[in-house]
Amino acid sequence: MNLTILAVGDIVAASGLAFCKAHLRTLRRQYGADLVVVNGENAANLGIRPEQADTLLRAGADVITLGNHTWSRREIVPYLDGEAQILRPANFAPHTPGRGWAEFDTPAGPVAVINLIGRCSMDYTPDNPFAVVERILRQVKTRLILVDFHAEATAEKLAMGYFLDGRVSALWGTHTHVPTADTQILPHGTGYQTDLGMTGPMQSVLGIQPALSINKFRGGVPARYEPAPGPNKLEGAVFTINAQTGLCVSAERVSIHD
């Protein structure tokens, strides 16, 4: 028996949330996905609100992962402890609210989903994700294991991919909002993509109005970032996993747009 996983890149702003809501169930049916994992950490531009998380779950997501903007909306804090389907990075300080990994039921049995955050070029220093994932893997009982590695550096994400190759079913990167063209199965059987991309405004700089980003890089007076108008897109990947071995048998990019 095979298990099909749909992983969706970072939801950006209200328009990205609306686009995901409009298309996620159709995509789920199209690919026959048994489990859908969506990174939602930019649904409120920065962070995610409880009602936005509820919208994603009602739209067809089974699991929501987060990242460096987890704490940008403080109203999400009690939600993280109360809602089992939302994860924050496991290598945040252990006393922070929420959980960094969990197991979810599927037709092929339980699937573990692990959320990690990178340390290269981030604004703070979480625990070492390589050490943390080692500890988690010692606790996981299922062979079906997925990892969302929310990280800036492609080298850090690639290193994690090879570090976990053959030990997890699939690993994908989020955070940079630009899809990479390296969807593949690593030598020992782990499905991999360095970055899924994003779900939100197409004609933008990572979801932001281009003029605002240009102003920043030109050294202009700082201005509040606002999401770009216009058409939207959804980017991600589909991984097919052999339920007996826990290894990936196919991986392909997903991209749709207005």
Are the C-beta atoms of residues 104 and 62 closer than 8 Å to each other? yes
Residue 107: alpha-carbon gap to chain centroid = 22
* Cβ atoms within 10 Å of 26's Cβ, excluding its own: 11
Question: What one-letter code names the amino acid at 24?
Answer: L
Residue 39: alpha-carbon gap to chain centroid = 4
Q: How far apart are the first and last CA of the chain?
A: 34
Instruction: Give yes or no: 257 in active site.
Output: no
Question: Which of 23, 69, 150, 177 is flagged as catalytic?
Answer: 69
Q: Classify the phi-psi angles of 175: left when phi > 0, otherwise alpha if psi is within -120 to 50, otherwise beta.
A: left
Are the C-beta atoms of residues 241 and 5 closer than 8 Å to each other? yes
Q: Classify the phi-psi angles of 200: left when phi > 0, otherwise alpha if psi is within -120 to 50, otherwise beta.
A: left
Active site residues: 69
